[in-house]
Amino acid sequence: MFFLSLSFYHLEIGKSDITNINDLIWKIFVTGLIATIGSLITRYLLVVAQYKPALINKMLIFFIYDVNTGLLIIFLTSTFIVWKKLILYQKSKSLIRFWNTFEILLLLSLLLTFANYQPFDTIFNLILGLLVLLTIILSVNLKWVAYLNFKQKWKSILLIGLIMLYIWYYFVTISDLSNRFSLSLNLSENVTFLALFIFNILYAAFSILVLLFNLPTSSVFEQKLEEVINFQKLSQATNTKQDEEQICEILLESSISAVVASGAWLEIRKNNSVEKKVLYNKISEQRKNKIESDIKNHFKDKQVTPNPIQSSRKTQLTVDLRDEEFKSALILPLFVQDREYGELCLLKDLPDGFNKEMIEIIRSFVNQASISIENYQLIQEAIENERYKEELEIAKRVQGSLLPETLEKNSDFEMIAYSKAAAEVGGDYYDTYRISEDKIALIIGDVSGKGTSAAFHMSQMKGIFQSLSLLDLSVDEFIKKANKAVGNCLDKKSLITASYYIIDTNRKSIQFSRAGHCPTLYFNHQKNETKFFETNGLGLGILRNEKFDEYVEVYELNYAPGDIIFLYTDGITEAKNSKGMEFGYERLASHLEKYTLKPLEEIRDRLVKKIYDFCETQTPEDDFTIVLIKFN
Amino acid sequence: MIEISSKLEEGIYYIHVKGEVDASSSIHLDESISQATQNHKKILIDCRELEYISSAGLGVFMSYINELEDKDIRLVIYGLSEKVKHVFQILGLDQLLTIKSTEEEAKYIVDGI
């Protein structure tokens, strides 16, 4: 019988995979249930045995005894295993060493029973004493208690109490049975058995005591846990795509639950008190205003700084109030990106209700919330920047595609151009159109403004130029009609400057009109002089009616071989150096004079280099464009 | 940066412009002139401290040309530096807006006739 129960013991050791405390408690309960059933069976058998003395014979008694023993050992060993799990809940090296020693000793003592030592002689006592000592050392490991919440602790107390009861009951029953019937095998004198028994009872007793004493502090532990969870919620807010208002709401809720406030509000003051938004919790707007003015008056009386509510970032404010419902208040300012963002006010219904730990917790919440809000704002800014950059890229591409790839050429002249856009998209434009075999139209223009709108106006101008040029209009007709067309396209405050030329290689003439654009620079080879043509003309879009036509002037000249026309935009003449001095017209003219005999490419390249050197930068502020025509 | 101040003196509305008028600051100039044209018929714009004006700023002036004529408002710009005056001239705005050199000349135009 004994060996049978031993084999049960080994079986139980196999069951050791559940680690959850709740499940362990359940297991304890199940064990207790088994024990109860076992107890009931033995009870019943005893009662039966008493009433029918005829049935009492040695076999029956042995049987009952063995069943009892078996059940008891099962119970003891399963409890032993559960206790082992609980003790080793938080492992450490020394703990494991102690436990292993304990188990080895226990096994040793088991072997001893076969050696048939007499009870209570020295070796018996020695081993028993050691085992008890180890039990006491091991029983101090009750860290699992802290992880249970209030309800679970009570349940555990109950169950463990019952278990202790069972153990005691069994012990009594077994010793009583064995004494009564003077059986050979007396478990109560067995070392292993005693040790197991003592171990289980001691640990159960310790557990109950510790559970009882930890009941009052379990609420604190739970609160700490909740604070950590709330803190994590706040710091995860940006990952979960919460916007600013949601972060503020989380902050408000977390703060309220952390200090168990009876009312609170969070005032959001963005853009320096222009917009105000308040989140309320268990308090109405009137009450909030009343309490706010109370606090301000409170400080007015004490003659502290005029607006203590807008306090510096390090301090918080605790105030005792004289309101019926709220007796103390805690106010903390919220700073985001070094600017004041808002204010959190928590109210409690007891005076002086905020201790140092509470204030610290709330402060850490507020800091975390401000970090989360800052992250959110920075992410939004980054997204805006991306969008803006994309827009610029598109506009740049549009602009690039509008300028002509190849310029018109003729046996009479050659033409080259250069255009460099500023860092932001600009509105410089030039284009050519071959009206007929002898006539070529040429335009250079500058759209006011920068950015995407300038690029779009430029494409409108190109459309106007291309459509009007093919009509073979005279120069002034072109300008007048262009003004009408442009007037419908542009907004009220925009304008386009342009100069329009028709080169007639048959008559060897150039006709042009200047619509508000920079004056054309002309080099006369024969006279060897450069000159600016300061003809009259309003920019396109300045006057959007017939009155514009009165200001249109046409100029005509005949060109000779070696003459050079130089078209440009104001990005060149207005280019500034570090001292604020402009490149200017004279510099341009003198540059052209110097290199009139050189090929056009060289004139162009030298001029470009000269401008960059003058500005001391490779990235000019305004776009500049050069178109050079030399007549053969 | 731009600084615009205005005052009413002897029935004339003065707008004083100091600094640079670029795309962002042209809005302030626009507001100022808009306020002036609402209630006043004699407006003088003091540009002695105007250092630079961009096309956006010129566009502001340009956008009021019709209104000035419709409401019969006399607006004179004076004190322009050579550089800035040249910009007005290239665009042709000097033929549509009244530009004078000194405050006396400007006042004379605005008060007289």
Instruction: Tell me, yes or no, if A487 comes closer than 8 A to chain B by beta carbon.
Output: no
> What letters, b where the CB count within 10 A reaches 16 and e where it falls short, cover A424-459?
ebbbbbbbbbebeeebbbbbbbbbbbbbbbbbbbbb
Check: CB of residue A110 under 8 Å from CB of residue A192.
yes
The pLDDT, as a whole number, for residue A473 is: 92
Which residues of chain B make contact with A539, given a CB cutoff of 8 A? Answer: 91-93
Helices (H) and strands (E) in chain A, counts: 15, 15
Which residues of chain A make contact with B56, given a CB cutoff of 8 A? Answer: 448-449, 493
Which residues of chain A make contact with B92, given a CB cutoff of 8 A? Answer: 516, 536-539, 542, 551
Spans of chain A below 50 pLDDT: 14, 17-18, 303-314
Check: CB of residue A134 under 8 Å from CB of residue A101.
yes
Question: Cβ separation of A495 and B63 shorter than 8 Å?
Answer: no
Residue with tokens 């080879």: A525
> What letters, b where the CB count within 10 A reaches 16 and e where it falls short, cover A69-100?
bbbbbbbbbbbbbbbbbbbbbeeeeebeebbe
Gap between the Cα atoms of B61 and B55, Å rounded: 10
Helices (H) and strands (E) in chain B, counts: 5, 5
Alpha helices for A543-623 (secondary structure H)? 570-573, 584-594, 600-615
Question: Cβ separation of B91 and A497 shorter than 8 Å?
Answer: yes
Check: CB of residue A99 under 8 Å from CB of residue A131.
no
The pLDDT, as a whole number, for residue A203 is: 81
Answering whether pTM is above 0.80, one says no
Relative orientation angle of helices A600-615 and A584-594, to the nearest 10 degrees: 140
The pLDDT, as a whole number, for residue A65 is: 67
> What are the extents of the domains in chain A?
2-229, 237-380, 403-631
Print the domain residue range for B34: 2-111
The pLDDT, as a whole number, for residue A304 is: 45
Out of B59, B83, B96, the one facing A543 most closely (by C-beta) is B96
Residue with tokens 């226990």: A106
Interior angle at CA A43, CA A40 and CA A46, nearest 5? 150
Question: Cβ separation of B62 and A519 shorter than 8 Å?
Answer: no
Q: Enter the DSSP assignment of A118.
A: P
The pLDDT, as a whole number, for residue A556 is: 94
The pLDDT, as a whole number, for residue A83 is: 75
State how many domains chain B has: 1
Instruction: Tell me, yes or no, if A535 comes closer than 8 A to chain B by beta carbon.
Output: no
CATH number of the domain that residue B21 is part of: 3.30.750.24
User: What is the CATH topology of the domain spanning A237-380?
Assistant: Beta-Lactamase (3.30.450)
Residue A428 dihedral angles phi and psi, to the nearest 5°: -75, 145
Instruction: Tell me, yes or no, if A543 comes closer than 8 A to chain B by beta carbon.
Output: yes
> What is the residue-wise DSSP string for A230-255?
HHHHHHHTTTTT--HHHHHHHHHHHH
The pLDDT, as a whole number, for residue A522 is: 93
Of B100, B91, B81, residue with least CA distance to B61: B91
Gap between the Cα atoms of A154 and A84, Å rounded: 21
Instruction: Tell me, yes or no, if B24 comes closer than 8 A to chain A by beta carbon.
Output: no
Of A418, A417, A402, residue with least CA distance to A456: A402
Q: Looking at the structure, give the CATH architecture of the domain made up of residues A403-631.
A: 4-Layer Sandwich (3.60)
Question: Cβ separation of B90 and A517 shorter than 8 Å?
Answer: yes
Residue B113 has pLDDT above 60, yes or no: no
> What is the residue-wise DSSP string for A35-93?
HHHHHHHHHHHHHHHHH-GGG--HHHHHHHHHHHHHHHHHHHHHHHHHHHHHHTTS--H
Check: CB of residue A563 under 8 Å from CB of residue A555.
no
Out of B59, B83, B95, the one facing A448 most closely (by C-beta) is B59
Gap between the Cα atoms of B34 and B63, Å rounded: 10
